[in-house]
Chain A
């Protein structure tokens, strides 16, 4: 063998060996199970992740279309809420599986956190205790949502293995309820009030949030009004312990003013957003198109519009209310204007100018007629758009940093009023603490609306008050289901404005025919796929 050959051979051998790489390779951007929880930073991040999985803006808004408040035309992009409203659905509808999985995925994150967080030895004990209480609140919140939609659901108070998941049975609803209220009480006992948190923690779960959620949970039961009233009183009467709450001075600003939305004394729990960095953009498909929205995919119904009372407090159905069918939007509850955009609405642009929103077909002087109702177009299917939650500071594509309120002090007040009324304890003093200030804040000035009307139609007054106050906040469908009025309000056509054939439904546009079968539809079907995989799961009646 010649020398150069040997050299070349040796060089090759070297290259072959040098090319070898070890086979134990680890990713550079991740932690392992062993070193993750020891870092306080990571524990904080795990908790933040649980917060971020608490709820979604999509559910927050589009659940309105499950109720008689709104209609969505393109349901497929928003979880098929239109199909649920139409009543023609099966247990295979993706929305059921999707929501079910969402809540259980949230529960898993909570259980993993609770099982592992004690590995951390660097965070102070009181901080760890607080964090665990925050997590327990969110775990209860997910269970509450599950119970609300499905009734009996598997209760998971610890992290489960895949094999356990395959044979887990449904827990009786009463047990789930007990778990939720116990957990919320335990959390409330540990959590600070909003005033005890440092300002950097603004938005965290407080003791008041835990109590308010417990009140909501019990309110939905219908037969626990004594407890509801007692819990509400705790929040209303102990500002030192549970934080100083009150109503924000302006209803519209609570949702749309970037400062008021985030710094007010009314919000008990909100989904937290930040301009440009963590945003929601559903309003891109809600607002008038001349305000920059792309299309309309969630339209308020005539039924919602009709439920706003007159400025004198009387419902429009009252012949003495002064309602004029040809001038239907004047002298109405000021929250109508703060919430819904109707024909010839004066829209305030972000730059301070205004524009008139022409919705009636053929009325817009602008050739483009972007907002006009057309059964064929991209505008509102009902002839109404939304104003509530419009963000004047949103960036491109309506990416908004406004917080979405999950629990407001106004709800505590209205829960209190409803509970007291159910208990037969409604009187002027309760009214003056609850509905009166809410109406005053809304902008009512007529004493006929503000003063205690006696007990003539109190149940309906409270129900209408809740609907008007919380429109577009996702509570209406819950109310319909717990009041058991779905067979009335979710059967037949949902309507839009009076732009249709006068011989059909008095000219109110039909937008969707809905069906609700009270023998089964008060509970959602357990997702078909889950039934197949979990041998112990059973289906709800009628599916």
Chain B
């Protein structure tokens, strides 16, 4: 096995043969089209008139493929890629009219009347089929799409007061699944398209303004012009080795040629209120229940009747979640200046967004906790003859300040102390108590230090387009992103009363890392229309390279007041490292291409491919080829469907098949490596370094997803109702997964192997209905989708992997959805002593009436491992979104509901189990429906002391006692606005002025009602090692605010 690193002198050696192939293909296709062009001869009519013209849409964009016909004849042509057409008619026809028709647009008739130049501007027919959709390396009209692409535009995004684009996208597109697992400002979300297709990373590829791999979180939502979601192989294959999870293409706003300069402002300001549905029982009730749990287990009560009376008399303290949360502002302000001359256009925007944290305090110094983002963007286009240059520059600064501990610790400590206690006494001292003995979470928030990240991102993109001939265009793109991130952390010491100290390690650290991403692309497009035939060829190559470097320095026992080094300060060697230890480099070289053909706007055929070579794999496994083929058929253009034209305005079928790749794995995994680390052991009171190793897998290569898609787009009732359906079936093989077939006796962990296989299929429906009655316009848009994954192979010989997540388990089993909950199924309660005597029990456990019974699946009279079954699926199913828009004169309303139709959530911890592990000493109102002899049909078993056999039976066995129904529907956004009539606003020089009131997350309906149903323990691959969900997460903020939009020109 030769795994030496070869430093190649000729990095392009591999490329030549491939480029040659592409060039030959290109020449061949070019020749073909030229030949085709030569064959049709001009009409044999003696005298002809040539009419030329230019056809655009209402925004001035050229329209390609518009049918131009002469009334009462069979003469006709179609516009080319630049929207131009030429038609030759007999001179006797000058009295006739030209008909311009294009699916998705209103047909137009223009009398010839002797003119030789006839231009037309077409209006869309009220549905979206005429819209321009951004696709990989270009744009297409929706009608000509062969793949499954959804587009979300600025109007869907900009009315939502969010700091993160993904929050605004949730529910907007079917099967664009966005799950906000924590609501902390600046917190992450789970994002995937069409659910889970792999056990590895399911994150879609993000392409921003043509550059692969941007950070969607850093975008200013206000800067976005459109978001295209490429879901199937037909649309995504051009992105090859990273497209298996789908692609999100984001285009930012740009200026337009020939446009007066305009200045616009829009902003929102509002207050977020933290919604905490969780309620502790009162102090005296808590004591009463505690006694009950002890007495039920044969132990003496700890509270005397007098104690309980005293607790009742003195009332509750304030040790509750609510009291470490406060209302906090959220705001955004954006200014955009744009304009354009005939040869250039520009757009400059600046934005500021702030989401303050609902957690109280500032950590002891500086500003309050929260997230702030500053965006600046410049988009400039110049046209120099046949050359067009588009330059995009953006700068983003994002800052997030958090406390010096983990959120879950803060909420757990707020939750586990009963209401007997308060955070502070009358002197303002932070109190500790027998439950929270060491520190007080309020003191941590208010005095205990901070964790502050400060990230700068510069993005630049030069895009040059050169028109070589009328039909041939060459595009070069050079772009890159430079990220510079710092994290500055300080834990400060707080002495609590009467005892307990927080932060006595007084640690301070600085972390810095920079990433540099460079992308160069060069591609040629050839476009030819010959009568009703249209050909397009695109061929290109690109390189992407990525470098990340970082370092960290941590010191402990610093000066308590300043955080600076002082006597006794030490550099923490286990948490400090240099750049050498934190450098990662990856690179990908690619060749890609597309061939599309359409006939008469009725038949569309497209083939795409990409070939990628990635540094993440060994030389022989490095190159992957990813092709796709797609077609569509506009049935409504067929003569046999013309009689039904009153029913179907448009009816289109499309289908695609292709093989896509996924290479979302860590770099260097194919090499076995040894690393040294400090302080492994010690001799003679002096530490020594150690050496560890990481096994490599030289055979590592891509995951491959074979994807089939079939779809239907239709529009009815005079284009008022439009409908889109999609079905997909995707099988991902060679999924990178660690081996689960090898027992621990082997003695070491494994790198990833190409071993697993997953099938994922599902459907999507989106519909929208436009209703105009007099001055009232209403739009109803609805989308719903489902996907169902199934594990087809896990790892070599093994078909099952069980992971114990605290009390219950996760399972991956072949033939079942990727990850599910696993354990015992409950079967009500032991109701009487006869039940106790006869019903099967776990070995060694003694139970009493009121304890849980489990289903003895194999009827062997004992509850053991063999009785464990699959209990639920944590992945969201039937995700949906509903938007209602209403416009009446100057008033407008937008209402948005989003939700999940089916999801199982397992929750554990103090919020579920009474007096959880003795770690929690509380009960909550949601736990009080427990069994007693007089309440035998309760939800929960009887109370029992922690450590008792009953408690072990009821709460330690890992049963569906922890299962909750996490389906929900959320009224996510309401926006009511009023726009001043232009006639009024223009008097003060304002083109448009709109004011609005906004509410967000106003109402959530769910059976899981003591925490937010969206919270999840899983990231987006349902990673087995995710720790179980204790619902100790940051609460849902409910936002109320107002907005203002002004445009001047």
Binding site for B on A (CB under 8 A): 1-2, 4-5, 8-9, 12-13, 15-34, 36, 41-42, 44-46, 48-49, 51-52, 73-74, 76, 82-83, 86-92, 94, 97, 100-101, 104-109, 111-112, 154, 156, 160-162, 165-166, 168, 199-204, 262, 272-274, 276-278, 289-290, 292, 294-295, 366-368, 370, 374-379, 395-397, 401, 500-501, 504, 510-513, 515, 517, 527-530, 532-534, 537
Q: Are B581 and A162 in contact (CB under 8 A)?
A: no
Question: Which one of B220-228, B249-257, B314-322, B686-694 is at the A interface?
Answer: B686-694
Query: CB-CB contacts of B901-942 with A at 8 A, as 1s and 0s?
Result: 000000000000000011101000000000000000000000
7 pairs, A vs B, C-beta closer than 8 Å:
A21-B543, A29-B583, A36-B674, A83-B956, A88-B844, A165-B747, A166-B743
**Are A15 and B674 interface neighbours, CB within 8 A?**
no
Name the 9 nearest CB pairs between A and B, nearest first.
A108-B747, A12-B476, A19-B520, A49-B690, A377-B434, A45-B691, A368-B498, A101-B744, A396-B505
User: Closest CB of chain A to B582's CB: distance in Å?
Assistant: 8
A8 to B464, CA, bound (A): 8
Q: A272-B682, A510-B299 are in contact. Are A168 and B580 (CB under 8 A)?
A: no
Q: Is the CB of B748 within 8 A of A200?
A: no
- Known contacts being A33-B672, A42-B674, A46-B691, is A24 close to B499, with CB within 8 Å? no
Asked if A203 contacts B683 (CB within 8 A), the reply is yes
User: B912 CB to closest chain A CB, in angstroms?
Assistant: 15
Which of B134-142, B385-393, B1004-1012 binds A?
B385-393
* Cβ-defined partner of A534 (8 Å) among B557, B681, B743, B917: B743
Q: Are A397 and B11 in contact (CB under 8 A)?
A: no
Residues of chain B within 8 A of A17, CB atoms compared:
520
Contact with A along B733-744 (1 / 0, CB 8 A): 000000111111
Write out the residue numbers on chain B whose beta carbons fall within 8 Å of the beta carbon of A395.
505, 556-557
Q: A5-B385, A19-B545 are in contact. Are A24 and B7 (CB under 8 A)?
A: yes
Partner of A378 from the list B435, B506, B556 (CB cut-off 8 Å) is B435
> With a CB–CB cut-off of 8 A, which chain A residues contact B290?
376
* CB contact between B842 and one of A18, A88, A367, A377 (< 8 Å): that residue: A88
Contact of B367 with A by CB under 8 A = no
- From known contacts A12-B476, A379-B434, infer whether A201 and B299 are also in contact, taking CB-CB under 8 Å: no
Question: Which residues of B lie under 8 Å from residue A272 when comparing CB positions?
Answer: 681-683, 685
Is B675's beta carbon under 8 Å from chain A? yes
Q: C-beta contact mask, B101-124 vs A, less than 8 Å → 1, else 0? A: 000000000000000000000000
Chain A residue at minimal CB-CB distance from B690: A49
Contact A370–B437 (Cβ < 8 Å): yes
- Are A160 and B746 within 8 A (Cβ)? yes
Alpha-carbon gap, A397 to B505, bound state (A): 7
Q: B301-312 interface mask toward A, CB cutoff 8 Å, 1 = contact, 0 = none?
A: 010000000000
CB-nearest residue of chain A to B290: A376
Q: B12 on the interface (CB 8 Å rule)? A: yes
Q: Complex formed: what's the CA distance from A45 to B687 in Å? A: 11
A135 to B588, CA, bound (A): 43
Decide: A165 and B504 in contact? CB cutoff 8 A: no
Task: Name the interface size band of chain B.
Answer: 35 or more
Beta-carbon contact of B743 and A529 below 8 Å: yes
**Residues in A neighbouring B169, C-beta threshold 8 A:** none
Provide the bound-state CA to CA distance between A500 and B542, in Å: 77
0/1 string, B171-192, CB within 8 A of A gives 1:
0000000000000000000000
Chain B residue nearest in CB terms to A399: B505
> In B252-291, which residues have CB < 8 Å from any A CB?
290
A203 B499 Cβ-Cβ under 8 A: no
Chain B interfacial positions (CB closer than 8 Å to A):
3-8, 11-12, 290, 294, 299-300, 302, 384-387, 389, 432, 434-435, 437-438, 462, 464, 466, 468, 474, 476, 478, 498-499, 501, 504-506, 518-522, 541-543, 545, 556-557, 570, 573, 580-589, 613-615, 619, 622, 667-668, 671-676, 679-694, 739-748, 750, 797-798, 800, 802, 804, 806, 842-845, 864-865, 917-919, 921, 946-949, 952, 956
Q: Return chain B residues, CB-CB under 8 Å to A18.
A: 520
- Is A278's CB under 8 angstroms from B682's CB? yes
User: Contact partner of B619 among A12, A24, A292, CB < 8 A?
Assistant: A24
Which of B385, B466, B543, B947 contacts A9, CB < 8 Å? Answer: B466
Determine whether the beta carbon of B673 is less than 8 Å from that of A32.
yes
Give A26 to B541 CA distance when docked, in angstroms.
Answer: 24
**Max chain A C-beta neighbours (<10 A), residue from B434, B518, B542, B580:** B434
Query: Hey, which chain A residues are within 8 Å of B387, CB to CB?
Result: 4-5, 8
Interface centre among A21, A156, A199 (most CB of B within 10 A): A21
User: Is B865 in contact with A91, judged by CB distance below 8 angstroms?
Assistant: yes
- Please determine whether B742 and A23 come into contact, CB atoms closer than 8 angstroms: no
Main secondary structure of the interface of B (DSSP, over half): mixed
Which residues of chain A are within 8 angstroms of B845 by Cβ–Cβ distance? 88
6 new A-B contacts at CB < 8 Å, known A21-B585, A51-B680, A86-B844: A20-B545, A74-B918, A88-B949, A106-B747, A274-B686, A395-B557
Chain B residue numbers with a CB within 8 Å of A165 are 742-743, 745-747
Instruction: Give chain B residues whose Cβ lies under 8 Å from the Cβ of A1.
Output: 386, 468
Q: Which residues of B contact A534 (CB under 8 A)?
A: 743, 745
Q: Given A8-B389, A20-B589, A26-B668, answer yes or no on A374-B741 (Cβ-Cβ < 8 Å).
A: no
CA distance A372 to B6 in the complex (A): 68
CB distance from A410 to the nearest CB of B (A): 22
Chain B neighbourhood of A166, CB < 8 A: 741-743, 797
Write out the residue numbers on chain A whose beta carbons fall within 8 Å of the beta carbon of B683.
200-204, 272
A294 touches B11 (CB 8 A): no
Taking a contact as CB atoms under 8 Å apart, the answer to whether B684 and A202 are in contact is yes
A273 to B949, Cβ gap below 8 A?
Answer: no
A203 x B545 contact (CB < 8 A):
no
A2 touching B385, Cβ below 8 Å: yes
Determine the distance from Cα of A513 to Cα of B688 in the docked complex, in whole angstroms. Answer: 44
> Chain B residues near A24 (CB, 8 Å)?
5-8, 615, 619
Q: Specify the chain B residue showing the minimal Cβ separation from A2.
A: B385
Residue of B nearest to A296 (CB): B437
From residue A371, how far is it (CB to closest CB) to chain B in Å? 10
State A377–B29 Cα separation when bound (angstroms): 81
Q: A16-B543, A162-B739 are in contact. Are A278 and B687 (CB under 8 A)?
A: yes
Across the interface, name the chain A residue whose C-beta is closest to B742: A162
Chain B: minimal CB distance from A349 (Å): 14
Given known A-B contacts A13-B522, A104-B745, A166-B743, A23 and B614 have beta carbons under 8 A apart: yes
Whether A30 lies near B434 (C-beta < 8 A) is no
User: Do A532 and B800 form a contact, CB below 8 Å, given A5-B386, A19-B520, A396-B506?
Assistant: yes
Q: Which residues of chain A come closer than 8 Å to B545, judged between CB atoms?
A: 19-21
Instruction: Report chain A residues within 8 Å CB of B619.
Output: 23-24
- CB atoms of A278 and B679 under 8 A apart: yes
Task: Give every chain A residue within 8 A of B686 (Cβ-Cβ).
Answer: 200, 274
Q: Is the CB of A34 within 8 A of B797?
A: no
**Closest B residue, CB atoms, query A106:** B747
Instruction: Check B478 against A12 for contact (C-beta < 8 Å).
Output: yes
A377 to B499, CA, bound (A): 15
Decide if A19 touches B682 in the complex (CB within 8 Å): no
Which of B6, B476, B505 counts the most chain A CB atoms within 10 A? Answer: B476
Q: Looking at the assembled complex, report how far the CB atom of B953 sits from the nearest CB atom of chain A, in whole angstroms.
A: 8
List the A side residues contacting B689 at CB < 8 Å.
44-45, 48
B478 CB contacts on chain A under 8 angstroms: 12, 15-16, 19
Shortest distance in angstroms between B845's beta carbon and chain A's nearest beta carbon? 5
Contact between B844 and A23, CB atoms less than 8 A apart: no
The answer to whether B7 touches A22, judged by C-beta atoms less than 8 angstroms apart, is yes
Residues of B within 8 A of A203 (CB): 682-684
Q: How far is the CB of B444 from chain A (nearest CB, A)?
A: 14
Contact of A200 among B468, B676, B684 (CB under 8 A): B684
Note all chain B residues with C-beta closer than 8 A to A200. Answer: 683-684, 686
A16 touches B302 (CB 8 A): no
- Shortest distance between the CB of A416 and any CB in chain B (Å): 29
Q: Which A residues touch B519, using CB under 8 A?
A: 19
CB nearest neighbor in A for B748: A108
In Å, the complex CA distance between A500 and B301 comes to 11
Minimum CB–CB distance from B274 to chain A (whole Å) comes to 28
